[in-house]
Every structure is written in C-alpha cells, then in structure tokens.
Amino acid sequence: MPRRNRVTNDSGHIKIQKRAIPLLLSCITTFPLFSVQSSANSGIDVYPPNWWVGMQNSNVELMLYGDDVADDTVSIAKGDVSVKHSQALDSENYLFVTLDTSNVSAQELVIRLTDSDGTTRDLTYTLEKRAQGSASREGFGPQDAIYLIAPDRYANGNVENDNVKGYGDPADRSFKGGRHGGDIQGIVDNLNYIQDMGFTQIWTMPMLENAMDKYSYHGYSTTDYYKIDPRFGSNDDFIALSTEAKSKGLGIIMDMVLNHIGSNHLWMKDTPSHDWINNNGKFVGTTHKREVLHDPHAVASDIKGFSDGWFVPTMPDLNQRNPHLANYLIQNAIWWVESAGLSGIRVDTYSYPDKAFLSQWTNRIMDEYPNFNIVGEEWSVNPAITAYWQAGSHRHDDYDSALPSVMDFPLQAAVVKALSNDESWNSGFNSVYETLATDFLYGDPNNLVIFPDNHDMSRIFTQLGHDKDKWNMAMTLLLTTRGIPQVFYGTEILMGNEGSEDHGIIRSDFPGGWPSDNDKNAFTGHGLTDDERWAQQRVKGLLQLRKSHPLQFKGLLKHFAPENGVYTYIREANVDSGSGADKSNTHQSDKILVILNKKPVDLPLNKYAEVLSTHQTLTRVSDGISFKTTDTLRLPAMSASVFIVQ
C-alpha cells in the first residue's frame, strides 16, 4: 500500500521531514515520544540519532521507527558504508538496520528506504569524527569525591521550564511528591559552590525524559532514552553542563536505567516485538530476591521471579534477552558518553536486568573506553553478593563481569551499626573492621563507591538520631577510608528527614536554590545555623584534604583492630607498586592518620609505631595543632581526629 503524507524533493526522491534542532542532535524528536504522531508529521525517528567513526566496534544498529517501515528495503544512496543487516520484528513500524562503518571517514549518509510499491524515502544520517582522546578518557577514581544531586530539588535556574506544554505532572513545590522546578541551569549556576566545597565529580539522578502523569521528578521512569526531559532543559543544556563542569575540574556521571522504562514510553503503545517487555507486557512484581542469582539451591522459577518481575505497574520490565533491545541499550550508553563527554556511569538496580546482558553491556562499554568507570547499584549488605559483580573478583562461577565499581552498601550499613551500638568484642567499631576485613572478596576495593546515605534512604543525620558527633564520625570515616566517597546534596548541612521515610521528604529542596528562598541559602551560608555551618566546613575541610593528598587516597589503607572504643587507620601512597604515583608530589611521603574514639582517651602514639616510626610530626587538620609521634594524645569522647603525618 502506498504511504501517505510524503514529501518529495526536487529530484523526485522521498525525504524525511526534519525539525529545527541543532545538527549534532538532528534526529532527536522534539515532541514527547509518548504522544501520537500526527499524519502531518509522519517522518522516521532514528536511534541512535548519529554515530561516530573510529569506534572499537565498527557496527552500529539503527532502530528506525515510522509508518509501515518494517517491510522496506534499505540501501545507501550516498556514502561509503555498507548495510550489513536489516531486520523487522513484530511491529510494522520498526526496522533494525546494521551499518558497517569500518575504515570510513566522517561523513553524511543518505539511507534510502524502498517500499514494495517502488516508492522511496531518503534519510540523512551523520557519522561524526570523535573528539580527540575520547577513547582514552579517564573515568572517576579513588582520588575523587562525588556529589549526588536530585536535579528537581537542587536549584531552579530557569523558571520558564517549570511547566512545559504537552507534559503532565505540573510544578508544585508544596507537594512532596511533585516537581519543584530544579533544573540543569540550577546546577550550572552553582558549579562554583560544588567546586569550592572540594567535590570533583557530579552524579545526578536521571534527567532523561520522564513523561509520566505524576511522581516523575525522580527520573527513573524513562520515556525517551535519547532526550533530556525539557523540564530540566535540553540535550544541548546537558552537554553544556558537562563542558562547563569540566572547565572547573568536575566530571559528570550519568545515572542510567537498564532494567525498566516508564509506562508512558512509546514501546508500551507500539512494541517492537512481542518479547520486548517481560511477562508479556503485564505487571508481575519482582521478588527482589537477588540472592537467587548466587544460590546453589535456587530453582529456575525463583530466578525468573527476580529478574523478570516489575518494580511497580508504572515501570515495565525490559527483556534484555532480546538482542535488538540489548544493542539499543548498549549503544545508548555509548552515545551519551561520546556526546556529553561523561566521566562515568551509575547503573540503577544493577543486578535486576538479564545477567548475560549485563556482561555484554559492561564489556562493550569498557572495550570502547578502557580507562572509564561504571558503578553498579547492588543493594545488598552481604559483601559476597556485592563483590560478585566487580571485575576481578573471585566468583563461584565463570561469569564474565567487566563492571569496574559497585556501590558499597555493606560498609554504609556497618558504619551506621557501629555508631548506633555500644562497644564490645563483637559490636561497635568492630562492625566496620569486620566489613573491611572482607575486602579480599573484591577485585578492587579502593574502586568501590562508599557513602553515608543516598537518595533512596534516610539521611545519615536522621539514621544516627540527629547526633552531630555521630554524624561527624560517620562523615570523617567515609571521606577518609578506602573507596570513592559520594555525598548526597544537603548531607553537608545536616539535612534530615525526622518523622518521615517518604522519599519526597528525604529529597527535600536544597535551601537557597529557589528565587524565593530568602531566609536560608546554603550556597552563600546566609541563614544557616551554627551547627549547619560547622558541618559544611567540616565536609569542605575533609574534601580539601583529599584534593591536596590524592596519592594517599588512591593508595593503601592499613587499620588497627578496634580496642576500647578506639578505631585507628592510616592512608599512605602506594609508591612501590608501579601505580604511577607522581614522585614529584611534595606530599608523597605524608601519611593520613585517622582516630575515631567513643570515650575520652589518653592515647600514646607509640602504640602505632609500626606505621609512624619513620615520621616525626602529626598536624591535626581541624585546627593545625602539631604533635610529635612520641606524644600522648588526649582526645575527648565522640571525636573524629584526622592528622597529616610528616
């Protein structure tokens, strides 16, 4: 049947109708994908919207979406690439086309689609030149500190995009579960604050389009994998954020969701194939029993119940066993790394997607970017389960994981437990000590992401009973022990969620981020209490220590078994292991000594002679007072002391 609403160019060829957007993103739709395309705009959407030459994997599979495109024959009308494969699935509106880009230069292609009636449509597609050094980009690492932001709740830099025509879930700052108006511009406006605090990386909750009816502010119900939600800004705005952040020494870590989509995604209205969504597109809840992936006694139905189940009815669970969906998700991740110059990826609900797919996904990305970093969220407090996913770990099977980093939930839980319980032979600081003693399970424990709290749990200040001293001990430990620390926005000013576990309260607005925030502004310090200002400066001081002593925090951790409520450890540069330490660094021989104690103590430093014997002085970071390594320290109860040992 001849197609309708085509536009013919001067040569008689059928052309795709284009929309007025920047060339780099020329194939990204400018209308919400959840809406029905009108007959007056019956073009073809292409995913990914552009690609690059010189990639490690020279094949790129395009997903074409348009009216009755599935039965078209594909050819190259202009360009020197070849069509390697073309395949339709169940829907008549999708066609998957694989191009071979090996040994070609950057160019503009014309892809011709020929229908059975002989009519044609021409699609322009751009193969670009990669940015210099793109493949060798350095990902975030142990020398870094990550600032986690909920974009909707951080700062509203552009009030004009608070509500966007065609999108529901209107802005309502008085509603804890609604959109409050924070956006990309708000983050850009406050990059100096983030930099001055001493953070070196920014991880934001997802900012891709979430065109849901309500509760969409959190970003985990994706409705378009290639489009920034316009209430946050545009794709160009996100790229500009990355560029501006980089100029200030800040990397951008993108939060990616591989397991599920939002129920308003186009795929729920026009599904590419019958097996695209798990459980035949119908809600069946996940069991959340992540242990079944490792349980030698598990039955197959329990494994399926975990991996194929949905989180909630509004988050359809993707079937990554479908090779075209798997390729779509892999290429989408690479596209954002390449387009936005990312320094890392955080993967939501890491273990929930198909296990074999996760191996394929991580390997493909690390093949393209060998020095990159990806951290997976595996919410288990069992180190044996979290360690399983990290590359280089010893596993009970031959699973091939290329995942460089994992969120260290075991350590987070241990810190809270240690500070909430009294000291004894098997409690208190022993919880931290015993957790760190299991680091032999991990391929690289110093590359784990550690944290006091995050966007899905109570604030650490609330977890510790709003005790300022316990907060100080937790923050000191987690900003100085092994791993890559992540701090949730507001934790630095003692934000809490007393009396509520609601995520909308946990993710409250950062004071000062809105034009009407006249009484309190954490960016400037105006209106902060003495305790809030102290906490902010404490975090800043520890972050500045990390920046001045990167070799120590990339290096070794040595700790002493807790004794009488005292837990002590040192950080030192690993200069003898061929790690590439800069021998010109003036602080290379320094050590960082940390002492946490719950009771008043007179502590003779010769107790630690085996790590201090080659040094002479200790300088306390908080007040600059120096001591000899032979002195006895008098430390008050509930103190967290950090020293530079020289």
Question: DSSP string of 18-31?
Answer: --S--GGGTTS-SS
Q: Which of 513, 548, 583 is the last residue of a domain?
A: 548
Tokens for 270, please give them: 């026009």
Burial class (CB in 10 A: 0-12, 13-18, 19+), 12: exposed
Residue 613: its pLDDT value, please? 87
Residue 461 counted as domain residue: yes
Residue 576: its pLDDT value, please? 62
**Contact predicate 342/252, CB 8 Å:** yes
How far apart are the C-alpha atoms of 214 and 170, rounded to whole Å? 8
Find, among 223, 199, 197, the residue nearest to 210 by Cα: 223
580 Rama sector, left if φ>0, alpha if ψ -120 to 50, beta otherwise: left
> Model pTM?
0.92
Q: Are residues 239 and 353 in the same domain?
A: yes
Q: Are residues 171 and 74 in the same domain?
A: no
Find, among 116, 88, 64, 138, the residue nearest to 447 by Cα: 138
Q: Are residues 606 and 631 in the same domain?
A: yes
Residue 429: its pLDDT value, please? 98
Q: Are residues 542 and 559 in the same domain?
A: no
Q: Are residues 530 and 632 in the same domain?
A: no
Residue 1 counted as domain residue: no
How far apart are the C-alpha atoms of 640 and 646, rounded to whole Å? 20
Q: Are residues 566 and 466 in the same domain?
A: no
Tokens for 314, please give them: 């509004």
**Contact predicate 65/44, CB 8 Å:** yes
**Catalytic option among 377, 378, 423, 572:** 377
Q: Which of 511, 526, 548 is the last residue of a domain?
A: 548
**Helix/strand/coil for 218:** coil
Residue 565 counted as domain residue: yes
Sign of the alpha-carbon dihedral angle for 461, 465, 469, 475: negative
How far apart are the C-alpha atoms of 619 and 593, rounded to whole Å? 10
- First and final CA of the chain: distance in angstroms? 81
Q: Are residues 543 and 562 in the same domain?
A: no
Residue 262 counted as domain residue: no
Sign of the alpha-carbon dihedral angle for 496, 498, 503, 508: negative
Range of the domain at 75: 7-128
Single-letter residue type at 284: V
Q: How far is CA 161 from CA 153, 171, 184, in A?
A: 14, 10, 10
Tokens for 437, please give them: 């003693």
Single-letter residue type at 366: M
Q: How far is CA 111 from CA 44, 119, 128, 435, 582, in A?
A: 12, 14, 16, 56, 51
Query: Within its chain, how far is the Cα of 7 from the centroid?
Result: 42
Q: Are residues 51 and 195 in the same domain?
A: no
| Count of the separate structural domains present in the chain | 3
E-state strands within 317-445: 344-347, 374-376, 405-406
Find, among 160, 56, 138, 22, the residue nearest to 515 by Cα: 160
Residue 452 counted as domain residue: yes
- The single residue listed with the structure tokens 């952040």 is 245
Residue 16: its pLDDT value, please? 33
Q: Are residues 385 and 534 in the same domain?
A: yes
How far apart are the C-alpha atoms of 194 and 248, rounded to whole Å? 10
**Contact predicate 475/452, CB 8 Å:** yes
| CATH number reported for the structural domain that contains residue 32 in this entry | 2.60.40.10
Q: Are residues 390 and 495 in the same domain?
A: yes
In the residue annotation, 377 being an active-site residue is answered as yes
Within 10 angstroms of residue 550's Cβ, the number of other Cβ atoms is 19
Residue 291 counted as domain residue: no
How far apart are the C-alpha atoms of 641 and 414, rounded to whole Å? 20
Residue 31 counted as domain residue: yes
Q: Are residues 228 and 360 in the same domain?
A: yes
Q: Are residues 78 and 156 in the same domain?
A: no
Residue 56 counted as domain residue: yes
Average pLDDT per 10 consecutive residues for the chain, totaling 646 residues = 34 30 33 32 83 97 97 97 97 98 97 95 97 97 98 98 97 97 98 98 98 97 98 98 98 98 98 98 97 96 97 98 98 98 98 98 98 98 98 96 98 98 96 98 98 98 98 98 98 98 98 97 98 98 98 97 97 70 68 97 96 93 96 97 97
| CATH number reported for the structural domain that contains residue 605 in this entry | 2.60.40.1180
**Catalytic option among 144, 237, 348, 423:** 348
Q: Which of 486, 513, 548 is the last residue of a domain?
A: 548
In the residue annotation, 572 being an active-site residue is answered as no
Find, among 27, 126, 131, the residue nearest to 81 by Cα: 126
